[in-house]
Amino acid sequence: MVHPFVQRDFDVWSASQSCNYVIKEAAIIFETGGDKLLDKILLVESPKYLKVSRIILRDIITEVEIHKRMSMQWSDSQKRKNADYIIKNDEKYSLVCQVLKLHDTFSNSK
């Protein structure tokens, strides 16, 4: 019920932008079919243990609840097959460097 309204708001906002690109964040973009409305897909990938620890801190929910939620979502390996770009958010690689590289790519692609 919510997704059509969110999409409509995004479309209006996106059309009003004057930059070379816009980014839409959506945790379940593949599960909702929203990926079919986008030009490129960027996956931010983290090891499961990091995702779980971050979610526990952010949402203050149990690990059992997190795994239940994750079991209803596509795995990173499924998403990876459909992604055009991947950012590794694993505390080993610089996020800033990865984002700047993609910014250069996106800025020069039009």
Residue 1 has pLDDT above 80, yes or no: no
- 73 phi and psi angles, rounded to 5 deg: -110, 160
Predicted TM-score (pTM) of this structure: 0.85
pLDDT (tens digit, 9 = 90+) per residue, 11-27?
Answer: 999 999 999 999 999 88
Alpha helix stretches (DSSP H) within the chain? 2-15, 48-59, 63-71, 76-82, 95-107
- Which tokens sit at 84? 């055009």
CB atoms within 10 A of CB 30: 19
79: domain CATH number is 3.40.50.300
pLDDT computed for residue 110 by the predictor? 58
Average pLDDT, the chain: 93
pLDDT (tens digit, 9 = 90+) per residue, 39-57?
Answer: 999 999 999 999 999 999 9
Q: Which amino acid is at 47?
A: P
Q: Which amino acid is at 78?
A: Q
Domain count, the chain: 1
Q: Which amino acid is at 88?
A: K
- Determine the structural domain holding residue 15 and report its residue range: 2-107
